[in-house]
A and B are shown apart, each in its own frame.
Chain A
Amino acid sequence: MLQATVPSTKEHNVWGGGRSPYNVSYGKMMIWFFLLSDALTFGALLISYGTRRFFSSVWPDANQVFKSFPFMGESNLPLLFVSLMTFILIMSSVTMVLAVHAGHYGDKKNVTKWLLWTIIGGIAFLGCQAWEWTHLHGECNGLWGAFTDVNTPVSAFSGFFDMHKESVHQVLANHPVIAMESTHQFFNFFFTITGFHGAHVTSGVIFNIVILINVVNGTYQKRGHYEMVEKVGLYWHFVDLVWVFVFTCFYLL
């Protein structure tokens, strides 16, 4: 992996200064390091969710909590809406990569086009997330600090659990407070983690808009390279990646 420490006749010593040993620019490398730190932050949040969940004897079932779809009223469509959200975000990742690809070839027109689609995808995702939040709060009464009143009737939260499991049924019948506590924690974690992720999507959309304006103004054409598009693309893909893990932890596992 490391080049020879004795400088060859053709190249400088790779680690001798004056060049990037990994042949990657400072800006791009630092974006990667920032993404690593952000990955650890999200990881910490997801791990604390997992630990709390493993610590509970019962936990809300994703298939029960997330079964609504916009404009479909009372129909029972578990996980369909969140699959749509995942699809939208992955699509926007694809358009982002196509923008970066166009940037490698200095094609301003296509960079503009694909970056615009990425921004639209991001806004669509945020809209979906906003609907999900509004629905969970309006229909299920979920939010930070919900389900803490011991006098809450069991019917308010029993719908979140998989009643086919005997152990779950037992707990809800004998010690419903435990189920309520789990529901409370579930919503705390859900809104925190998806909120933190949503903030990243929002900032990603804003960054993309700023870079799009720069592209349209010809800043990068003048500079001679579209590396800024690539760097902001890395952030966008990271946002997509985090969603893939959040989706798995909250909706699948």
Chain B
Amino acid sequence: MSSHSNHNVSVQELYEGDQSKLYSGIMAHHTDLNSTESKNQVKKIWKVFWILLVITLVEVIMGMFLSHSMPKALVNFFFLALTVLKAGYIVSVFMHLGDEFKGFILTVLIPLVLFVWFIIAFLADGGFWLHMNKTSPARQHIEKVKE
């Protein structure tokens, strides 16, 4: 059911009518579910599933056994790195963002990267407030409730 024949209908008419034909490159109507191409895509999906499973298991094992013997900052770094890795796989393979035009990928990813700055800023803020409350000379007269 291929619809690559845009030539007899103008782009304008397609745009105002059945838009699916405009994107026949993306929503390509393949016909054979058993073709090698299809089978490879399915294999890739299952491969990513196993990767996600292994990463999750590593995270849980770390959380259960190793988190008490390693410095907290290192443990947290590992957890965040593994989580971002999982997110990357899900977004690029499962959500097919990796198959889109580069401009569109950037449209989605750049705000999220800037969001990381937001995260760091607010966590640092929280930590700073704790430190400030503990050490500020202006607060020395308050009974040290926050130890």
Residues of A at the B interface (CB closer than 8 Å) are 1-2, 12, 18-26, 29, 32, 36, 39-40, 43, 47-48, 50-57, 62-63, 78-80, 83, 86-87, 90-91, 93-94, 96-98, 100-102, 104-107, 110, 162, 164, 170-171, 174-175, 177-178, 223-225, 227, 230, 233-234, 237-238, 240-241, 244-245, 248, 251-253
Contacts and interface: CB of A to CB of B under 8 A. Distances in A.
B103 A54 contact: no
24 contacts: A1-B103, A21-B103, A23-B26, A24-B23, A24-B104, A25-B23, A26-B19, A43-B119, A47-B118, A47-B119, A57-B146, A90-B56, A102-B33, A104-B28, A105-B30, A105-B31, A110-B33, A175-B145, A224-B1, A227-B27, A237-B94, A237-B95, A240-B90, A241-B91
A39 B108 CA distance: 11
Interface residues of B, number: 72
A55 to B, nearest CB: 4
Interface of B: 1, 3, 11-12, 15, 19-20, 22-23, 25-33, 38, 41-42, 45-46, 49, 52-53, 56-57, 59-60, 62-64, 67-68, 76, 79-80, 83, 86-87, 90-91, 93-97, 100-104, 106-108, 111-112, 115, 118-119, 122-127, 129-130, 145-147
A50 B42 CA distance: 38
B61 to A, nearest CB: 10
Contacts of B68: 162, 164
B46 A224 contact: no
Contacts, number: 187
Judged by DSSP, the binding face of A is helix
